[in-house]
Amino acid sequence: MKLVKTSYRVAVIVGAGILLQSCFAAKEYKKPENIKAENLYRSEIVSQDTVSMADVSWNKMFTDPILQGYITKGLQNNFDIRIAIQNVAAAQANLKQGKAGYFPTLSLGVDWTHTEQSKNSQIGRIVSQTGGNTNLDQYQLLGNFAWEADIWGKIRSNKRAFSAAYMQTIAANQAVKTQVITDIAANYYQLLSLDAQLKVAEKTLTNRNQSVETIISLKDAGSVNEVGVKQTEAQKYATEIIIEDLKNNIILVENSLSILLGEPAKKLERGTLENQNLNPALQVGVSTQLLRNRPDVVAAEYGFINAFELTNVARSNFYPQFRITATGGLQSIDLNDWINTNSLFANIVTGLTQPLFNGRQIRTRYEVAKAQNEQALVQFEQALITASREVSDALANYNNETRKITIREKQADALTKAADYSDELLEYGLVNYLEVLTAKDNALNSQLNLIDNKYQQYLAIINLYKALGGGWR
């Protein structure tokens, strides 16, 4: 009968705790009003078209089969991606813990306690005088139960904070994927441009070797002096230096690309720059799409949600906590009587605990949580504004490089013809060797710059794709 009454009381108290959970003190999350995602792009690139490059999958964006193979390998082996995956796994474990906050805790323990009383102590002297044993053994099998009612929404907010942290790591993982994909593409196209520049430089070196032979012949004919010969030889050596620098840069970029693929540095297979076709429709969409397309912006918002919910948790500490704790099991001083109904014991405690004075710890935690919440809001806004600037920068760079390519093609053609004409005029003594050298240097530099210009145009497309939030899908 006594056990029934006790169970009834516990059920009533638990039911009251559950009913009180509707009295939430926690605030509901709403997207901040000061976060404005409209009109983030510069006025000259305002778009009303909702179609965005970010919606294009990376294998449709980068069509070179060799590059596609490298990106696939990078997504599997890249070190940063593998680290990000483990961050997701850790956040998932924390999320499971947050979901378990509603459940009670239960622990089971077995212990043996041996006590030897001092014969000079109060209890020991009494026991000794009565002929009793001052040594005491106690055997115990006990279980501990505890449950807290989520009256003020503390557990709910904590769960939501863990959920936001988990989603933040998912978005961060997506951001790493975008970074790896675009870094691999940028390194690959840089390799192609260096190969093209090396090809131009080696062809130029062949021509300059011929120029040395020509200038020596002109010197023997009395048309030029020894200074002209040495200047032409020096120009040939300068070309050889350019070739050596290009070869070294190729090795460095190959090493960088190998690391992105999660492999030791090695020579890498690749196509050619002239066979590339990276001219997609440059559609930026509307700026509000950055809120869902940019993984880093999404991660920043989840970071703010996490801080918001943790502020709710800190606020709930000002209110009383309703807890039920129970301890029960078997307890005996005689091992033979341990497993016996007479050894049963139980202890149940229920009640509200209201913190009063605790060295200002609760208020300090709340003020710190509010400050971190404001900090997360600023970081969210900063991520969005930074994303809009990167879109504007990338598109401006693309337009600039595209306009320059047409001009550089004309410049390279003009300077190449000027170099060819200068050789002919030198043979007839109509120009001096310094004019020839200058014309040839200008021609080589214009050809190298034209190749770099094309690479910069490709790089601007890659950066625009990344800035819009493409690549992770």
CA distances from 4 to 7, 74, 191, 324, 351 (A): 5, 65, 81, 18, 20
For 19-28, 268-277, 338-347, 390-399, which range has the lowest pLDDT when averaged over its residues?
Answer: 19-28
Q: For residues 159 and 172, what is the distance between their CA atoms, to the nearest angstrom? A: 20
- The pLDDT confidence band at residue 432, using thresholds 50, 70 and 90, is low
User: According to the model, what pLDDT value does residue 237 have?
Assistant: 94
Confidence band for 40, pLDDT divided at 50, 70 and 90:
confident
First to last CA, the chain: 64
Residue 58 lies in a domain: yes
Structural domain includes residue 187: yes
Reduced 3-state DSSP string for the chain: CHHHHHHHHHHHHHHHHHHHCCCCCCCCCCCCCCCCCCCCCCHHHCCCCCCEHHHCCHHHHCCCHHHHHHHHHHHHHCHHHHHHHHHHHHHHHHHHHHHHHHCCEEEEEEEEEEEECCCCCHHHHHHHHCCCCCEEEEEEEEEEEEEECCCCCHHHHHHHHHHHHHHHHHHHHHHHHHHHHHHHHHHHHHHHHHHHHHHHHHHHHHHHHHHHHHHHHHHHCCCCCHHHHHHHHHHHHHHHHHHHHHHHHHHHHHHHHHHHCCCCCCCCCCCCHHHCCCCCCCCECCHHHHHHHCHHHHHHHHHHHHHHHHHHHHHHCCCCEEEEEEEEEEEECCHHHCCCHHHEEEEEEEEEECCCCCCCHHHHHHHHHHHHHHHHHHHHHHHHHHHHHHHHHHHHHHHHHHHHHHHHHHHHHHHHHHHHHHHHHHHCCCCCHHHHHHHHHHHHHHHHHHHHHHHHHHHHHHHHHHHCCCCCC
Residue with tokens 């306009």: 403
Q: Tally Cβ neighbours within 10 Å of residue 350.
A: 17
* Residue 396: closest CA among 107, 45, 84, 15: 45
In-domain check, residue 75: yes
For residues 136 and 134, what is the distance between their CA atoms, to the nearest angstrom? 6
* Domain annotation covers residue 421: yes
Q: Note down the domain range covering 161.
A: 25-103+152-318+362-467
CATH number for the domain spanning 429: value is: 1.20.1600.10
Asked whether residue 13 is domain-assigned, the answer is no
pLDDT band at 429 (very low <50, low <70, confident <90, very high): low
pLDDT above 70: residue 46: no
Cβ-proximal residues to 419 (8 Å cutoff; 6+ apart), any chain: 436, 439, 440, 442, 443
User: Higher confidence at residue 434 or residue 212?
Assistant: 212
Residue 338 backbone phi and psi in degrees, to 5: -65, -55
* Lowest-pLDDT choice from 40-54, 74-88, 215-229, 331-345: 40-54
Residue 10 has pLDDT above 90, yes or no: no
Whether 142 is in a domain gets the answer no
Please give the pLDDT value at position 443: 87
Question: Would you say residue 375 lies in a domain?
Answer: yes
Residue with tokens 């919910």: 309
Span 433-462, average pLDDT: 87
Task: Tell me whether residue 344 is in a domain.
Answer: no
Q: Structural domain tally of the chain?
A: 1
d(CA 354, CA 221): 108
Higher-scoring residue by pLDDT: 123, 404: 404
Quick one: pLDDT at residue 21? 46
Q: Residue 230's pLDDT band (boundaries 50, 70, 90)?
A: confident
